Amino acid sequence: MRPGAVLALRAVGALAVAGGLAAGAWLAWDELGGQPIVRVRFGGDAGSVPAAARERLAAGLRGRPAREVSLAAVREAVRHLPWVRDCTVRYVFPGTLEVAIDAHVALARWDEARLVSVRGEVFAAGTDAALPIFSGPEGSAAEMAAAWERVARAAAPLGIPVAELRLSARRAWQARLASGLALELGREDIEARLARFAAAWPRIEAQAAGATRADLRYPNGFALRGVAAAPANPAPRGAGRQG
């Protein structure tokens, strides 16, 4: 037999083997794909997602043939659950769908319905946790989350937690303490200004009682606003205006 014919026969044989393997794989997938999803297994940060929300999603998947369930569609549905930042979904045959969840970690409140994560991402979720409030222009949450650690650290010596951090449209910062005192920080050197105020706080705390605002934007100091004036000493009896 000529060499060309031998090569041709070998090629035909290889194609036949490949075709047989492909057919076998298709039959195996067809059989496995027809099996129903028996369980949905959540992992990763699943504990951050309300159990009722997880169960509702799992109940809609159990009993459906695997081939009818789109992994991409399941991933998108999971990403819409409260607290879910991202997830991965895969089949584990037979009958198991595995969902690994990456959950948000809340840092602050953005408004009545949304929170800010430690990554600076705004997401919709509810919590009873005591969190500071962020108030700023839309799109500024990441900038505020990045500044929060520096602000909280510089204010720590005050011994009064920061309850609210604000960023104006002009990029000027303000921090409000849990006592109600508002600290005007300006647009730059906010850590140094806070640190200077915190260092002076033990000396002025008594006289600052009742103050509503502290302007920290001065080069070498600050000004307190809303401090109640000290009562005047009564004039001695008999002392009056002289003619």
Domain with CATH 3.10.20.310 in the chain: 39-103
Cα(130)–Cα(127) distance, integer angstroms: 9
Instruction: Record the pTM.
Output: 0.76
- Say what the pLDDT of residue 11 is: 46
pLDDT at 220: 85
CA 100 vs CA 49, 75, 92, 123: distances in Å = 12, 10, 13, 19
For position 222, what pLDDT does the model report? 92
Backbone torsion region of residue 189, taken as left when φ is above 0, otherwise alpha when ψ lies between -120 and 50, otherwise beta: left
Q: What is the DSSP string of the chain?
A: --HHHHHHHHHHHHHHHHHHHHHHHHHHHHHHHTSBP-EEEEEESGGGS-HHHHHHHHHHHTTSBGGG--HHHHHHHHHTSTTEEEEEEEEETTTEEEEEEEE--EEEE-SSSEEEETTS-EEE----S---EEE--TT-HHHHHHHHHHHHHHHGGGSS-EEEEEE-TT--EEEEETTS-EEEEESS-HHHHHHHHHHHHHHHTTTTTT--EEE--SSS--EEESPPPPPPPPPPTT-----
Looking at residue 80, its amino acid is H
| Residue (of 227, 229, 232, 184) closest to 208 by Cα position | 227
Per-residue pLDDT of the chain (243 residues; tens, 9 = 90+): 555 554 444 544 444 444 544 444 444 445 555 799 999 999 999 999 999 999 999 999 999 999 999 999 999 999 999 999 999 999 998 899 999 999 999 999 999 999 999 999 999 999 999 999 999 999 999 999 999 999 999 999 999 999 999 999 999 999 999 999 999 999 999 999 999 999 999 998 888 878 999 999 998 889 998 875 544 334 344 444 333
Selecting from 3.40.50.720, 3.90.45.10, 1.10.260.40, 3.10.20.310, what CATH number does the domain 39-103 have?
A: 3.10.20.310
Instruction: Classify domain 106-225 by CATH architecture.
Output: 3-Layer(aba) Sandwich (3.40)
pLDDT at position 208 is 82
pLDDT confidence of residue 224: 92
Q: CATH 3.40.50.11690 region(s) of the chain?
A: 106-225
Neighbouring C-alpha atoms within 13 Å toward the C-beta of 240 = 3
